[in-house]
Chains A and B, each alone.
Chain A
Amino acid sequence: MKRVLIVTFVLGLAAASLFAVDLKTSGWNTIVSTAKAEGQVIFYAWYFPDYFKEAAADFEKLYGIKAVVIIGDQTANFNKAIAEKNLATGTIDAMIVGGQWVKTTMDLDLFFGPIKGVLPEAHQMAPSLWELQEGVLTKGYLAPFHRNQTGILYDPNRVKNPPQTWEELVKWIDENPKEFGFCDPSKGGTGQSFVHTVIAKTTGGLERYKGDSDVVPSKVANWNLAWKWFTDRRDKLTITMSNNDSIIRLNGGEISMTVGWDDNVSDQMSKGNLFKRAKMYIPQMGLAGGGDTMGVLKNAPNKAAALLWIHFIQSKEQQLKKFQKVGAYPARIDLPLEGTLLSEQDRAKNAIAWFPAAYKNLMINEFVRNVLMK
């Protein structure tokens, strides 16, 4: 009897190790067959319900795997993922990761990976977005979903010569009080991008922050100049509550110029929430860009299906379809596009990279302390 039990135990262990596929080394064909055996993927996002609904149907048709897409709220999505972090098996397979939450989720070690070496078309995606998302090192754990860029968005009926340089922008703001709006940086990336540029222009550029993983106090000693720039113009600037609030106020005529994300602006325009005459550009003084990514949760119930879903979303067909449907700029670098809101020339010449995440966090906190609370 004892011998039978031992043999059963050993055979059980062998079978378990045989079936526990290491997805990072098993090869793509094994991942596809494991995904088909899993039978479904659960994906959380907070935007583009129209695109994802059709993508889910396409995925099911192609692989016979059911894709359940939950369009929630950004904060709620991450709160749920964090609440389930310590469960052996969670309820989310994969999710969109935006700049607001990338540092928290990477610090919490929420994702399975690195997955860059697993996905067969990883090399076709923007290389920088595989490594860095809005100043945070992602080390190949988060797969590029789309690239986005902040730019100046304006009403051409009210702004005839939009400013290009820092001096021109300051002059325009001074001459048109309350007409320029930007989002509170603690509430949205467009505000962060604008404050980032203000810091660059008032305190001596961004070069000195390169490569830092922690804040070097001597490098931020003169940030008071940036806060002074804001407080001196308290009566001339409009601070909005979110990225979309900036667009709403522009559409409602309260402001005539703001900072927006290109994908967000396209989406709002296509849904009738912003006038079609709106124009957008990246000024010569530079504004930051980045992109959103997708991650597979460490405790995902269907990891292989999640990897296959991400591969599918990154495919040429889906990246193009996403661009055509919602105007989101592809994460792929092998797709020539026409009809983008921002010109390729602008992107190449004027888009700038974020400073490291530690500085970005400090920037948000210090803005609240030195500008909003004063």
Chain B
Amino acid sequence: MRRDEFTITTLGTQTRKNLYILLAAFFILVQLVWVGLPILMTVLWSLVHPDYPWSYPQMFPEKLSFAQWRFVFRYTNIVRALKTSYSVAPLSVLLAFFLALPTAYALGRKKFAGKKLFMTLVLLPIIMPGMVVALFLSRVFTSFGLAQSFFGLVLAHTLMGLPYMIRVLTTSFEAIPQDVIDAAENLGATSFSKIKDIFLPMVRPGLLAGMVFAFTTSIEEFNLTFIIGTPTFETVPTILYSFLGYNFIRTNASVIALIMMVPNILMLFAVERILKSDYLSASLGKL
């Protein structure tokens, strides 16, 4: 290799390395601005001392305190709401899974007339404004005696999470290669072993994604819960909306937002880990 060729190669490697560093720095900056900054602002607003308001031209609050947190825990039903939210959400995810599984299988693996229309209809509850859905559904829930009951609340949250679960699972079922199913059938696989060894492992990433959607939908559901659940049940969003709606109080709303956010972030990290281990299994041919 000539000296000038060596220099060019070294320069090329160096430039590529610099480019990677630049891209990484840009990515970190974007993450900080889009994710980190709002969270930091929320944390700071939740710590504003009531006697030292954070206002123009101060860059940061003059004094921090836990007074806003104490206010929320003392004067709202947040503890009761947390218990309800985190007991309704897992049950509604489970119910949504069992209800979505056969529908998603049919939509993902079978051919029938009106399939496209049905797939659009499934999404209607999330396309329509939340309060409109809530007002119509509340009539149905009341006439069936499901309003003001825990089961009714679980069912309501299931209905709101179901479109996500069906959509994501349908895509997962569609993605299963027919060759794998044919090969299993040629080797004498029964319907049960096909479900156990092919369908369920291969839709697992989709299932986890659907669960995340259904869980966060349940945790954030406000309209239907408020109409059919209160006053017997309160969830975290019913408390959040009292500070975030017409009577927006940023300090208290920040506290509730953080209370809602932390468990959701932890769950996302957990699911991310499970999904990564799935990819690893797939790459090693264990699926």
Point out residues on A near B: beta carbons under 8 Å. 42, 44, 46-47, 49-50, 53, 68, 70-76, 79-80, 83-84, 87, 91-92, 100, 155, 188, 242, 244-245, 248, 251-254, 264, 267-276
CB distance from B120 to the nearest CB of A (A): 27
In-complex Cβ contact of A42 among B147, B231, B245 (8 A): B231
Given A71-B76, A71-B242, A276:B56 Cβ within 8 A: no
Query: Shortest CB–CB separation between residue B116 and chain A, in angstroms?
Result: 33
Residue of B at shortest CB range from A82?
B135
Contact of B245 among A74, A87, A155, A245 (CB under 8 A): A74
Docked CA distance A68–B244 (Å): 21
Cross-chain contact A272 with B245 (CB below 8 angstroms): no
7 contacting pairs across A/B (C-beta < 8 A): A70-B230, A72-B245, A73-B246, A83-B134, A83-B139, A155-B56, A273-B53
**Given the complex, which residues of A lie within 8 Å of B251, measured CB to CB?**
271-273
Q: A53–B76 Cα gap in the complex (Å)?
A: 8
Q: Which residue of A lies closest to B54 (CB)?
A: A272
Given contacts A46-B245, A47-B242, A74-B247, 6 further A-B contacts (CB under 8 A): A47-B247, A83-B138, A252-B55, A253-B55, A272-B50, A273-B250
* Complex interface: chain A residues within 8 A of B241 (CB): 72-73, 76
How many Å from the CB of B252 to the closest CB on chain A?
Answer: 7
Is A251 within 8 A of B242, CB to CB?
A: no
A248 to B55, CA, bound (A): 9
Interface string of B103-146 (1 = CB under 8 A from A): 00000000000000000000000000001001100110010000
Q: Are B245 and A80 in contact (CB under 8 A)?
A: no
A274 touches B71 (CB 8 A): no
Residue pair B234, A70 in contact (C-beta under 8 Å): yes
Min CB distance B234 to A, Å, is: 7
What CA separation (Å) do A269 and B241 show in the bound complex?
20
Tell me whether B48 and A272 are in contact (CB under 8 A): yes
Residues A46 and B230 in contact in the complex (CB < 8 Å), given A53-B75, A272-B68, A273-B251: no
Residues in A whose Cβ lies below 8 Å from that of B49:
272
Interface of A is mostly: mixed
Interface size band for B: 35 or more
**What is the 8 Å Cβ interface bit string for chain B, positions 51-63, against chain A (1 contact, 0 not)?**
1111111000000
A272 pairs with B246, CB closer than 8 A: no
Interchain CA distance A46-B232 in the complex, whole Å: 17
CA distance A272 to B252 in the complex (A): 10
Q: Please determine whether A72 and B56 come into contact, CB atoms closer than 8 angstroms.
A: no
CA of A3 to CA of B102 in the docked complex: distance in angstroms? 60
Partner-contacting stretch, out of B157-165, B204-212, B220-228, B260-268: B220-228
Which residue in chain B gives the minimum CB-CB distance to A81?
A: B227
Identify which of A44, A46, A47, A49 gathers the most chain B CB atoms within 10 Å of its CB. Answer: A49
